[in-house]
Amino acid sequence: MSQGPEQHADNEIPLADANDPRLAPYRLLTDRALRDRAPSSPTEVSATENAPHGRFLAEGHYVLQRLIAAGAPVLSVMLTERRAAAAREYLSTFRGPRYLVSEELASKVVGYPVHRGVMGLVARPRPLTPAELTIDASLLVYLDGIADTENVGAIFRTAAALGADGVLVGPTTADPLYRRCVRVSMGATAVLSWARDTGGDALSRLNGGPLSGWSLVGLSPDGSTTLEHLVEHQPPRSVLILGSEGPGLGDKVRRDCDELVSIPIGADSDSLNVAATAAIALYRLAARRNGDSRHSSQTK
C-alpha cells in the first residue's frame, strides 16, 4: 500500500523523525495542553494562528471524514503510510498538510499503538454561549457533573443520532473535545452544537435567562413522574438533565428541576447507566416531537 514519493499528492509530506516540530501537537500532549497551551516554537505559532480557541485531536477515518464533511477546521492530518490510500477520497478537498509516517513512528509520537491509521488536528470552534445554543432549539441535554469521558461521548453520539438540538455542558462535566469523548461519540462532540455552562449556580442562572420558558426535566431513579407520563404531556421546550453514575443529580440541580422523571426498572436491579437513560429518554422525546414522520422516514 505504501507508495513512492513521486505519487504523493501535493500536500502529502513524508516525515521520518519523531522529533519533527510539525508532529509536536500529536506528541503525547494531554487534551488540556492541546486546548490551553501557548505555541512553543515558530512552527507551532503558524500551526495555532488559525486556532485561537485551542485545538483537539480526532482519531480514525470515520471520525475525520465526518468532521471534514461537516466543515470542521482541520489544521493538519497525520497518516500512516499503510492507511493513507483509504483517506485520499475524503481528504480530496483538504488543503492542509498531511504528514505521512510509518506505523512505528506514529506510535512513537502518539505514545500508544496507532491502529486507526489517522489522526487529525482540529481547531476548536469559538465556544457557543448558552444563549446562542437555546435559540431555535426545543430539545437539549444538560450534563451535570459527568466526569466520565466515555459517558459524555456516548450521550453526544446518541443525542446527535436522535435529533437533540444540542448539549449544555455543566461546570464539572468532562470536556467534550477531549480525545476519548471525540472517539466514543464518533465525532458527534465536534458536530453537534454545545455550550459550556460555567460557574456555580449554573442551572439557576440559566433558568432565569436563556432557559426561561423551558421545562427543566431531571432524570433520576427516584423521580416521581415516569418518562411515559412526561411523553404524554411533553412541554414544547425541554432540557433533559443527566447526572453522573454514582451520586446522580446534585442537590442544587435537583431543586432547579421542574420535574424529576424516572424510567421504571426492576426492584432487584441496579439503576440504568446514564448513557442508556439518555438513549431511552431522547428516543421517546425526540420521537414524540417529530411525530409520525419518524415512523416512515428511514435512514441507514
Residues that bind its own copies (CB under 8 A): 62, 66, 69-70, 154, 157-158, 160-163, 186-188, 221-222, 224, 226, 228-229, 262-273, 275-277, 279-280, 283, 287, 294-300
Q: How far is the CB of 139 from its own copies (least distance, A)?
A: 12
Cα–Cα distance list, 91 to 12, 97, 121, 170, 284 (Å) = 11, 11, 14, 35, 37
**Comparison of 101 and 177: residue with beta carbon closer to its own copies:** 177
Q: CA 109 → CA 11, 19, 124, distances in Å?
A: 20, 8, 22
CB 271, min distance to its own copies, A: 7
β-pairing verdict for 118-123 and 139-144: unpaired
Q: How far is the CB of 291 from its own copies (least distance, A)?
A: 11
Q: Which is nearer to its own copies, 18 or 272 (CB)?
A: 272
Which one, 6 or 232, has the nearer CB to its own copies? 232
Residue 163 or 171 having the CB closest to its own copies: 163
Q: Could you tell me the smallest distance in angstroms from the CB atom of residue 283 to its own copies? A: 5
For its own copies, which is the closer residue by CB, 157 or 254? Answer: 157
Q: Which of 254, 250, 246, 245 is nearest to 273 (CA)?
A: 245
Cβ-proximal residues to 19 (8 Å cutoff; 6+ apart), any chain: none
Q: Which residues, in sequence order, are bridge partners of residue 259?
A: 217
CB of 150 to its own copies, least distance (A): 8
Which three cell numbers, joined as nine digits, stand for 212?
A: 426561561
Nearer to its own copies, 109 or 159 (CB): 159
Closest separation between CB of residue 173 and its own copies, Å?
19
